[in-house]
Amino acid sequence: MGGWTLSLFLDPQSRDPVYLQIAHALMQEIHRGRLRPGDPLPGQRTLAEQLGVSRNTVMAAFQELQAEGWLVARTGEGSLVAPTPPLRLPPGMGPEVPAERSQLERGMGFDLSQGPEPPSAPGLGLLRAGTGIPDPRLLPGAELARAYRRALTQHGQSALNLEDSQGHPRLREALARMLSEARGIPTTAQRILVTRGSQMAAFLTAQALVRPGDVVAVEALGDRRAWEAFTHAGARCLPLPVDAAGLDVGALEALLAQTPLRAVLVTPRRQYPSLAVLSPERRARLLDLAQTHRFAILEVDQDSEFQFEGRSLPPLAAQDPAGVVIHMGTLSKIFSPGLRLGFVHGPEPLLQRMKQLRLVFDRQGDMVLERAMAELMEDGEIQRHLNRMQQVYRRRRDAAGEALSRALGDRVSFEVPPGGLALWIRAEPTLDVDAWATRALEKGVVFQPGRQFAFESGPVPALRLGFANHDEAELEEVARRMAAALEGMP
C-alpha cells in the first residue's frame, strides 16, 4: 500500500459477527477497485490494533477471504489480494455496479466525454513532427539540475517561503534585461509577470483586459487555444485574413469602420502558423490604428530567438511610444515545453489586475525553478545553449527541407524559413491534407493539417511540420512515412 495505513470502515449497524464484518469490508474494497490484485494487506496484528479487535478476529476474517478466493497467503509476503478475485460480491452485500458503465450512467447527469481518442499507430515508434518544439534530449539538464539544487540548498527557506504571484523578482529582473538587450524593449521588472507557460499568459491577459461583449480581432490562421482564452473571457473573436505579408491591416481598418475593438491578437515576427513576417508598412499602420482607436495590440512572440539567417524585425513592443502593445513570450521554446515558463510584458495596472486574478486558481509559480532559471540567464548559460541550438536546428531545418523535397516532389511546396522551429508546407489544391494526416498517423508520423489553425475550421491546403525535435535520421524517416501515406492519394 505504498507505506500508507489502510483505513477500513465497518458498519456500526451490522449484526454480523465482527470477523465477517471485516471480511465483507475488504471484499467491498477489492470489488470497487480500492484494493487491486497483488496489493498487500496490512499485517493481522496491525489491522487488529487499528480496528480495536483481537488478532484472532482478524485471522478468522482473513481465513474467510482466503477460502472465498479473495486473498492469497505467501510465505514472507503476508496476505495479498488474489490475482483474479471473484467478479461478484456475495448475495446481500450491496448492488452490483458493472465496470463498463459510464460515469454518466453512474452519477452526474451530463456528458463529460471529449470524444474518441485519436487512433494510434501500432507497431511503430510515433514520430511527432507537428508541434515546432525544441528537442528535450538537448536540454542542458546537468546545468539546470545544478542551478535548481543551488536554489534549494543555498536559498531553500527563502525560496520556498517566497510568495509572489507576479513571479520571482530575480527572474523578472533577468527577463527585463533579456527584453531590453535582445528584443529592444525598454522595460523594468515591475512591468513583467511570469506565468506557467504561454497559455496561462493568454488566459490571464484575456481575463484582465476583456469585458463580456468586447470584440477581439484575431488572425484567421492561428492558435485555437489563444482564441478560446478570449472567448472564455466573454469576447467575440472576429478573424482577419493573413497573407504573405502577415496580418491584412486593410481588413482591420474595414472592421474598425463597423465596430469598435478591444484588442487585436497578432504574431508579427513570425506568423503562427504560416511563418509570414508582418511587413514594416503594416506594422507602422497597425501601431497607428491602435493609438488612434485605442485598442490593445496583443503581440505573441514565441520562437524569435531562433534566427538562422538575416536579421529579424524588432517586436512591436519595441516600437510602441503610445503604450498600446502587450507582449507575451515564453522560455519553453528555448529549453523545453515541460518547464512551463511564460511571461507577459505590459502596463503595471494591467499586471496588478492579472496578479489578483491569478490568486483565484494559482497562488504563484514554482519559485525554486524560477530562481534557478534566473541564475542560468544571469551566468549566460541560456545564451550559450541558444548559440549551440542555433547550429543544431539550422542543420535540422536544412535536412528536413531536403528530405521532404526528395520524398514528396511537386505535390508540395515551401520556402525554407530564415528562423523558427517549423515549416509551413503548401499542398496541391486537389490534395486532401486532412485525409493525408490520417493516413500518415497510420504510418507512424504526426503533422498538423492546416484545418487545425483555421478560425472557421474549413479545409486549408497546407500543413505545419516541426523539425527541431528530431535529428537528421529521424527527419528522413518522417519524410519517408509521409510519402508512403501519400501513395495512391488523388
Identify the CATH number of the domain in which residue 477 sits: 3.90.1150.10
Predicted confidence at residue 98, as pLDDT, reads 53
End position of a domain, from candidates 348, 380, 412: 380
Q: Are residues 133 and 87 in the same domain?
A: no
**pLDDT of res. 366:** 84
**Are 69 and 93 part of one and the same domain?**
yes
Structural domain contains residue 316: yes
Provide the pLDDT confidence category of residue 105 given band limits of 50, 70 and 90. Answer: low
- In tens, the pLDDT along 419-434 reads 999 999 999 999 999 9
Has residue 401 been placed in a domain? yes
- The percent of residues above 70 in pLDDT, for the chain, comes to 91
One domain for residues 161 and 290: yes
* pLDDT for position 318: 95
Q: Which residue has the higher pLDDT, 33 or 171?
A: 171
For the residues of 93-140, what is the DSSP string, one character each?
S-----TTS-HHHHS-SS-----PPPP--TTS--EE-SS----GGGS-
Contact yes or no for 345/179 (Cβ under 8 A): yes
- Who wins on pLDDT, 144 or 316? 316
| Count: domains in the chain | 3
Domain assignment of residue 48, yes or no:
yes
The mean-pLDDT minimum among 96-105, 241-250, 281-290, 479-488 falls in 96-105
The pLDDT value given to residue 95: 57
Give residue 204's pLDDT band: very low, low, confident or very high (50, 70, 90). very high
- At residue 104 the predicted structure's pLDDT band, cuts being 50, 70 and 90, is very low
Answer whether residue 97 shows pLDDT above 60: no
313 and 292 in a single domain? The answer is yes
Residues 234 and 348 both lie in one domain: yes
Question: Does pLDDT of 123 surpass 60?
Answer: no
Report pLDDT for 248. Answer: 98
**CA–CA gap between residue 405 and residue 382 (Å, rounded):** 33
If you average pLDDT over residues 66-85, what whole number do you get?
89
Taking 80 as the threshold, does the pLDDT of residue 76 lie above it?
no
pLDDT tens digit string along 310-348?
A: 988 999 999 999 999 999 999 888 877 778 899 999 999
Position with higher pLDDT, 150 vs 203: 203
The answer to whether the peptide bond before residue 273 is cis (omega within 30 degrees of 0) is: yes
| pTM for this model (two decimals) | 0.82
CA distances from 283 to 80, 173, 252, 264 (A): 69, 28, 12, 13
Sequence-distant contacts of 334-338: CB under 8 A, at least 24 apart:
334/134, 334/305, 334/382, 334/385, 334/386, 334/389, 335/134, 335/139, 335/140, 335/144, 335/382, 335/385, 336/133, 336/134, 336/136, 336/139, 337/133, 337/134, 337/197, 338/136
Average pLDDT over residues 81-102: 71
**Per-residue pLDDT band at 122 (split at 50, 70, 90):** very low
The average pLDDT across 126-138 equals 87
Look at residues 380, 404, 429 and tell me which one is the last residue of a structural domain: 380
Query: What pLDDT, in 10s, does the model give residues 226-283?
Result: 999 999 999 999 999 999 999 999 999 999 999 999 999 999 999 999 999 999 999 9
Model pLDDT, residue 332: 84
The mean pLDDT of 93-113, rounded to a whole number, is 53
Residues 71 and 46 in one domain: yes
355 pLDDT band, cuts 50/70/90, is: very high
Are 268 and 359 part of one and the same domain?
Answer: yes
Is residue 400 a part of any domain in this protein?
A: yes
Is the residue at 213 inside a domain?
Answer: yes
Q: Are 179 and 208 in the same domain?
A: yes
Last residue of a domain, one of 99, 115, 150: 99
Residue 121 pLDDT grade (very low, low, confident, very high; cuts 50, 70, 90): very low
- Residue 275 and residue 183 share a domain: yes
Above 60 in pLDDT, residue 88? yes
144: pLDDT strictly greater than 90: no
Instruction: Kindly state the average pLDDT of the residues 141-166.
Output: 79
| Secondary-structure breakdown of the chain: helix, strand, coil percentages, each rounded to the nearest 5 | 45, 15, 40
Higher pLDDT, 38 or 121: 38
Q: How far apart are CA 27 and CA 93, in angstroms?
A: 9
Phi, psi of 89 (to 5 degrees): -80, 155
Q: For the chain, what is the mean pLDDT?
A: 89
- Do the domain assignments include residue 230? yes
Amino acid 1: pLDDT: 41
- pLDDT-derived band at 136 (thresholds 50, 70, 90) equals confident
**Are residues 222 and 350 part of one domain?**
yes
Residue 217 contacts residue 252 (beta carbons within 8 Å): yes
CATH of the domain at 299: 3.40.640.10
Residue numbers of the domain that contains 69: 18-99
- Alpha carbon 54 to its chain's center: 53
Residue 113 is assigned to a structural domain of this protein: no
pLDDT given at position 482: 97
- One domain, residues 419 and 337: no
Nearest-angstrom CA–CA distance, 180 and 88: 68
Q: What is the CATH number of the domain that holds 81?
A: 1.10.10.10
User: In the prediction, which pLDDT does 99 show?
Assistant: 46
pLDDT digits (tens, 9 = 90+) for 356-402: 999 888 878 888 889 989 999 999 998 999 999 999 999 999 999 99
- Residues 422, 437: Cα–Cα separation, whole Å: 17
Domain-located, residue 56:
yes
What's the mean pLDDT in 467-479?
A: 96
pLDDT of residue 472: 97
Q: Where are the beta strands (DSSP E) in 383-421?
A: 412-413
Give residue 333's identity as a one-letter amino acid code: K
- Tell me: do 349 and 243 sit in the same domain: yes
pLDDT in tens, 307-319: 999 988 999 999 9
For residues 239 and 247, what is the distance between their CA atoms, to the nearest angstrom? 10
Secondary structure (DSSP) of 306-351: -B-SS-PPPPGGGG-TT--EEEEEESTTTS-GGG--EEEE--HHHH
Of 91-95, 189-193, 199-203, 474-478, which range is least confident?
A: 91-95
- Predicted pLDDT at 114: 53
